[in-house]
Structure 1
């Protein structure tokens, strides 16, 4: 890690946009150790087997049919930064096109530093990721499934759990996201439309609260369903893994907790908890197939009110 090189990259930000994305990536990588990626044949086979077994178990237990992406990558932290810099850029591009900052050079440096901080922090935190390529330049590109191997190994050691078992549980979580988007071909377009509406509102110096509310509600369903199904489909004990990972999500030192607040990770944690509570109630009352029915069409997504009142959702959709 070279903090000086990271700061220098940020200070050299140039171009015409709000963010110099090349320098943001350079600064993020300079401030982040890549981590070791010296995978053994057993490691590589382990990831492949975990993904394959998770797919088969999810098809059986949740009753949803889907394909696992061809692009399954085991990455280090720098690989993750490179893969997600484009995602950040795609989201920011419409805002950049409309913005006219009073001090463009200074704004570019500040914004580049903010993006570098976000990319670096997340690269040190993310364990796995299903990437549906929202707002991608090529909508027909294959979705991605990533595992940040150094983080998986480090967190398993930090939680004092066996690495192969922890890796497998994380694979079940990410493959569950692949199942959601595979079972609901409309989901990517639904989320993109809400993001675009929200961005259009910001560009017009206004705000579309309905778009952001619908986006947050949908993402709560996405995260909550994954939390439920990864546990119920997992073919080993998981209570200790769940307890330890939940504690870790809310822990860390003052700097880590501040970073999580700045990046909205507290909101993501609440999405996990609120969505999981909704689907637990639905599955306990009607079975997992009823919970999976949420992906049949957009009208079956719960409303914000129904997330806290699963009985109202069941009465409305009667899955």
Structure 2
């Protein structure tokens, strides 16, 4: 008997909508999940279908982001298992020594909570709120735009039947798109969990305030090809992690400043409707590989607006200042470590290029969390340390107005000259203002 055509059972857009109207639930998510690279086998696919069906029944229209966490944990795989006793002991010893060394290199106090080891699963659960905060505006815009365009393409005879039988079909389509995006985010974060070695590895404060952690399962992968003792690597990375956590603990305004800049970037996010239209016109709903490519490549995200470019520049400058400061402090604290220079160079290369997971996140959301001027910022902080000492350097983090700017990174000597210039003489008005601010009693009238 002759083989039937491969596409005999493949529904087109009209057929997909007819099935949805008839209460057939979500579209064929098995092929979709396979094309998206989602883990979990048959059980994972059935879970995804159940979540899609639940999404379409969600009355408030919001995306259920729990799917992102579940898919990320599945993608992390065997690496989610707990660390061995030996790994835990090594990390705890590294943190103990790192804290003592760091006390000699920065004025920032120790953390209120003891640093810890984390599995990939624990890292995913602790950091997922941050990833969702970045991804939610993008998911909403894409889901709304795709729904609008697909709805416009429905033939009139289908549109009438759809409106009569499923008045909230638009919400259903938005829910499906949003759920698929959440699943894709989960796969990306799961990939990140296999790459990161600490809570502050991507520069931004992913963990709650005052917390620091290393992921023992990923330390061995970090050290591949370095020919460096694992304990030295753990000690260097523990110093970096503590320095990063202490900085954000001391400069409380810094975390809010970063999240505000990211919010400014997301606020101006739009979707290129012409691009969405072109995508929808040639899109076959059964071509799941094409849908995966559209989400993962970021092709539906338009070029950045001038406001977004400005926000991105502010973000890159702040991240460069953070990472540069951490580099300098870590270098001073680990100066007695024989192979600290080799580990430091590996860290810089990873931060400059980004791993596959970080690159995937950048294309998915359109936002890169990577300092482009890390070496220049580190050189500036080194010069400031030489001129002012570690206490004077760290005092610049006490208020956002004191923090060096992009221009200061370009010209560290001008910054040092300004910081070390003698204080100009004060006139009577200046002195009276200072007295009022201190609460001193005013002088008696003459």
Q: Could you tell me the TM-score, scaled by structure 1's length?
A: 0.79
**Alpha-carbon distance in structure 1 between the residues aligned to 2:379 and 2:195:** 24
Q: Is the 8 A contact 1:19 1:111 kept in 2?
A: no
1:252 Cα deviation from its structure 2 partner:
9.7
1:239 Cα deviation from its structure 2 partner:
1.5
Deviation by residue 1:170-196 (Cα, 9 ceiling, x = unmatched): 000010112212332322233233333
Q: What SS does structure 1 have at the residue aligned with 2:212?
A: strand
Query: Would the alpha carbon gap of residues 29 and 165 (structure 1) be closer, same or farther in structure 2, given more than 3 Å must change?
Result: same
Give the match for residue 310 of structure 1. Answer: 412
Give the match for residue 33 of structure 1. Answer: 77
Give the match for residue 225 of structure 1. Answer: 325
Residue 161 of structure 2 is aligned to residue 128 of structure 1? no
Question: Which residue of 163, 167, 170 maps to 2:234?
Answer: 167
Deviation by residue 1:271-309 (Cα, 9 ceiling, x = unmatched): 533422322333345544443232122112121222222
Unaligned runs of 5+ in 1: none
Question: Which residue of 108, 113, 117 maps to 1:74?
Answer: 117
**Alpha-carbon distance in structure 2 between the residues aligned to 1:221 and 1:229:** 12
Q: Could you tell me the TM-score, scaled by structure 2's length?
A: 0.59
**Alpha-carbon distance in structure 1 between the residues aligned to 2:89 and 2:176:** 48
Query: Would the alpha carbon gap of residues 199 and 135 (structure 1) be closer, same or farther in structure 2, given more than 3 Å must change?
Result: farther
**Alpha-carbon distance in structure 1 between the residues aligned to 2:314 and 2:123:** 28
Give the match for residue 17 of structure 2. Answer: none
Residue 251 of structure 2 is aligned to residue 184 of structure 1? yes
**Alpha-carbon distance in structure 1 between the residues aligned to 2:48 and 2:383:** 48
- After TM superposition, the structure 1 stretch with the greater mean CA deviation from structure 2, 151-160 or 125-134, is 125-134
Q: What SS does structure 2 have at the residue aligned with 1:144?
A: coil
Give the match for residue 314 of structure 2. Answer: 214
Give the match for residue 277 of structure 1. Answer: 379
Give the match for residue 277 of structure 2. Answer: none
1:269 Cα deviation from its structure 2 partner:
5.3
Residue 105 of structure 2 is aligned to residue 61 of structure 1? yes
Query: Would the alpha carbon gap of residues 286 and 128 (structure 1) be closer, same or farther in structure 2, given more than 3 Å must change?
Result: same
Q: What SS does structure 1 have at the residue aligned with 2:117?
A: strand
Q: Is the 8 A contact 2:210 2:249 kept in 1?
A: no
Please, what is the CA RMSD of the aligned residues?
3.8
How do residues 197-212 of structure 1 correspond to structure 2 at under 5 angstroms?
Answer: 197-202=264-269, 207=307, 209-212=309-312
The alignment of Structure 1 onto Structure 2 pairs a total of residues equal to 312
**Alpha-carbon distance in structure 2 between the residues aligned to 1:269 and 1:214:** 11
Give the match for residue 178 of structure 2. Answer: 108
**Alpha-carbon distance in structure 2 between the residues aligned to 1:288 and 1:124:** 35
Q: What SS does structure 2 have at the residue aligned with 1:129?
A: coil
Q: Is the 8 A contact 1:198 1:211 kept in 2?
A: yes
Residue 397 of structure 2 is aligned to residue 292 of structure 1? no
**Alpha-carbon distance in structure 1 between the residues aligned to 2:382 and 2:309:** 28
- After TM superposition, the structure 1 stretch with the greater mean CA deviation from structure 2, 304-313 or 263-272, is 263-272
Q: Is the 8 A contact 2:112 2:210 kept in 1?
A: yes
**Alpha-carbon distance in structure 1 between the residues aligned to 2:238 and 2:189:** 22
Unaligned runs of 5+ in 2: 1-37, 148-173, 273-304, 422-446
